[in-house]
Chain A
Amino acid sequence: MVEHGSGTKNTPTLLQLLAVWLKIGLTSFGGGPATQVLIYQHFVTQRKWIEPEAFAQMWAVVQFAPGVNLIALAILMGNTLAGAAGVVVSLIGMLLPSAGITIIMTAAYATVRSNPAVQKALRGVTPALVGMSIVFLWRLLKPPMHKLQKNGSGPVLLGMALVLCAMALTAFNVPILIIYFVGAFVLGVAYTVWARQNKTEAHV
């Protein structure tokens, strides 16, 4: 579909592609961070099927895609290396083992969940998940806030107001899609207006 074979040095056969994804899907214990490292090691560092610049470009594109970024990355890599068949092979290879293990682990957990010690462990894990997620959100927030800062203190205040507005709307149970739309719409208009202002100022 997309440019075939671009950004690649060696082209794997479908069987090789499947084998590597299966290996990643089976061994990437530790969620997304572990998976991302293994993908880079196998495809870029070891086999040189994809060049570092092409990988960086794909990672950027993936941020714009709906759904889980790493699944979108697997789709994009599969398509680049072997077209539609590559997409199918990559999805099966990455997801079948990892989804299978995820289900088995959940089923195993479900059999011990009523155990008081497991209950306590879960009560300890919950605040840790929240703490880790807050750091993740902080990192997510930094790039747009830096961009707003370059436009002056007004834009920074607008950005902070949008975050607070989203918090208030969520607390009042406004549908999430509406909250997302408000944020996207406000900054979409604002960026367009600022870009025009900058242009006219540059001409003066």
Chain B
Amino acid sequence: MDWLTYFALMLKACLLSTGGRGPFPYLYADFLSHGWATDANFAEALSVGEISPGPSGLWVISFGYLTGGLTGALLALVAVTLPPLGVLLVSRIHQKLKDLPATQGVLDGLVLAIVGTAVVVLANLFVKNGLDPVTVGIFAASAVLMYLGRIPSIFILLGAAIAGVLLL
């Protein structure tokens, strides 16, 4: 394993994104092309991140463990911890920049691009996992339950796991 490249790709994914799911498209493109991860690794790590304590973004640490063992997990921990330190700089310039039309536009444009990219990556993950009535049903039910917002995501995942064991 080329740990320097491994760490650099992790750091890039965390630095050039925002939010817990932000690194996902980067890691999906880079780690699959290096042959360091499988589609299943992403579902596995994202699930652990939703269940374990701490930010959902810690799924990157789980992903590090699955792809690079304890070394991978510790490198992921560093890669996840460093970029948010940028908030100290951001909080200084936030007041000056937040009302500029260009700033608003850049952030909104970023969101639109993030959504478009993520939809395609998610569709890839979904199709490779297997398209059949059961998986489509689980997808639809989870989306509706998440939209209604009454059930914590941890229970939605649990229900989906049980449905998978019983029906697939």
Residues on A lying within 8 angstroms of B by beta carbon are: 1-2, 24-35, 58, 60-76, 79, 87, 91, 94-95, 97-99, 101-103, 105-107, 109-110, 113, 117, 120-138, 140-141, 143-144, 147-148, 159, 162-167, 169-171, 173, 175-177, 179-180, 182-192, 194-195
Contacts and interface: CB of A to CB of B under 8 A. Distances in A.
B105 A191 contact: yes
A71 B103 CA distance: 23
Nearest to A104: B52
8 contacts: A31-B56, A95-B54, A102-B59, A124-B138, A126-B135, A140-B111, A177-B16, A192-B101
A144 B62 CA distance: 32
A71 to B, nearest CB: 4
Contacts of B125: 126, 129-130
Given A25-B53, A136-B146, A163-B112, 14 more contacts: A31-B51, A32-B56, A67-B17, A67-B83, A67-B84, A75-B84, A102-B49, A102-B58, A102-B59, A124-B167, A126-B125, A126-B126, A135-B147, A185-B106
- Classify chain B's interface size: 35 or more
Contacts of B87: 61-62, 64-65, 72-73, 75-76
A180 B84 contact: no
Interface string B98-109: 100111111111
B20 A69 contact: yes
Contact of B102 (A94, A124, A134, A192): A192
A184 B92 CA distance: 22
A102 B111 CA distance: 28
Contacts of B70: 103
A177 B25 CA distance: 10
Given A61-B90, A102-B48, A124 B20 contact: no
B25 A27 contact: no
A163 B139 CA distance: 22
A137 B120 CA distance: 12
A134 B145 CA distance: 12
B15 A67 contact: yes
A4 to B, nearest CB: 13
Q: Is the interface of B mostly helix, strand, loop or mixed?
A: helix
Interface in B25-50: 25-26, 29, 40, 43-50
Contact of A69 (B55, B117, B138, B167): B55
B146 to A, nearest CB: 4
Contacts of A35: 53-55
Contacts of B92: 2
Contacts of A186: 109
B162 interface: yes
Contact of B15 (A26, A66, A127, A129): A66
Contacts of B48: 102, 105-106, 109
B105 A189 contact: yes
A170 B53 contact: no
A141 B51 contact: no
B116 A166 contact: yes
A173 B26 CA distance: 11
A127 B91 contact: no
Nearest to A79: B88
Contacts of B59: 102
